[in-house]
Amino acid sequence: MILARKLRIIIMALSEVPTILIVSLLLISGAAIAHAPQSVNDNTSLETALEIEDMEKSWVIYSSLMEGEALYFTFEMEEDERLLLDLIVPVKDGDIGFLPRMALMAPGIPDAGALPGWVEQPDGYGHDIIETSVPEEATYEGFTPSAFYDLGRTDSPAPVSGRYYVVVFSPSMQEGNFALVVGYAEEFTLQELVIMPFSLYTIYIWEGQEPWQVLAPMISTIALGAIAATYYRKRRAGPMDVQHALLLAGGLLILGTAVSTLTQTLISVRDSHLGLGVLISLFLITLPGLFGYMILRRGWGAEDISRGGRTKLGAYAALSVAVWAGYLIGPMLVIAAAVLPRGAAVWPRR
């Protein structure tokens, strides 16, 4: 009882954290390492090579290789510009021995290594095959969170000016998933932040998880929340109205993100070594959990929400988008509740 009372006091105190402090924490988190995700699978020839327009920005391009297949990527560079390429595979594929290869092709450079016969090379180009190997330990990435094997990379000045090609090919009798990491400037656009929850879903599928495994934490959170609200409805101070129902639904979606991130963190830590990246994951667990709790607390209360309370709810929703919580639907429900006119907000209670 004493422990439960202390925990309740701590949670109540956290619910009063000033919004400005939360904004400050979000700004600090922006300095952490992250990559903008992208998926592609139809670049199977030089003519259909995927164009990478910005080689400074850090991208992770998720894809898969079939036996005897090669996938092509292309970009423009000036001599001596920084050229960073990295090849990774999910832990599941690396553990069964999947080891794709990567070659950099540029005009006029000497050949280094032998390309398979099915790999295309432009006329006048040479190639440099980047050595790959499966390391003993997987790398933990805190923003996703996820774990992967870093097979091999190159990070050096571009040897010439012109159009480059990168080809990733599978040795015979092997197939699996891989991702090509390019660039070094860690940044996100607003659009990438908004769609991040959906990008994370595709990343976990790429890792080898089943759809039900990815969605189970969110679905379980919503289901348990709905059951609890139904079971304890008679203890609520008043009947439910539209505004408070929207807050409960939105709060559960945002809280479900915290539960999902916690689940993925536990899976990824199991598959890799424990590092400082876990602190980033804990941050992305704590904030959606805190926002979800504060929104649910308002939603379960029966009192009318003041103008100041509506403003806070709007801030919680906006900040939830910034930490990609609630699959965008949760924050939208909270914003809808915050802007509802008073007459509509209390229906059918009054």
- What are the tens digits of pLDDT across the range 321-350? 989 899 999 999 999 999 988 766 656 655
- Rounded Cα distance, 140 and 137, in Å: 9
Model pLDDT, residue 14: 38
Examine the pLDDT at 12 and tell me if it is beyond 70: no
Q: Which CATH number fits domain 36-182: 2.60.120.380, 3.40.50.720, 3.30.1280.10, 1.20.140.10?
A: 2.60.120.380
- Nearby residues of 307 by Cβ (< 8 Å), 6 or more positions away: none
Q: Which conformational region is residue 281 in: left (phi greater than 0), alpha (psi within -120 to 50 degrees), or beta?
A: alpha
- How large a percentage of the chain has pLDDT more than 90? 64
Model pLDDT, residue 272: 87
- Rounded Cα distance, 85 and 182, in Å: 5
Chain-centroid distance of CA 146 in Å reads 9
The structure's pTM equals 0.82
Examine the pLDDT at 72 and tell me if it is beyond 70: yes
How many C-alpha atoms does 239 have within 13 Å on its Cβ side? 8
The letter for the amino acid at 77 is M
Q: Is 247 exposed, middle or buried (0-12, 13-18, 19+ CB in 10 A)?
A: buried
Chain-centroid distance of CA 210 in Å reads 17
Q: How much is the average pLDDT of 20-34?
A: 40
Sheet containing 162-169: order of strands: 50-51, 70-77, 162-169, 101-107, 125-130
Answer yes or no: are the C-beta atoms of 315 and 212 closer than 8 Å: no
Question: Which residue is it, tokens 């003993």?
Answer: 136
Convert the pLDDT of each residue in 154-189 to its tens digit: 999 999 999 999 999 987 778 999 999 999 887 777
pLDDT band at 109 (very low <50, low <70, confident <90, very high): very high
Examine the pLDDT at 247 and tell me if it is beyond 90: yes
Tokens of 155: 């990070």
CB atoms within 10 A of CB 208: 14
How does DSSP classify residue 131?
P
- Rounded Cα distance, 245 and 333, in Å: 9
Model pLDDT, residue 6: 35
The domain locations on the chain are 2-31+210-345, 36-182
Q: Is 142 exposed, middle or buried (0-12, 13-18, 19+ CB in 10 A)?
A: buried
The interaxial angle of helices 190-207 and 307-322, nearest 10 deg, is 50
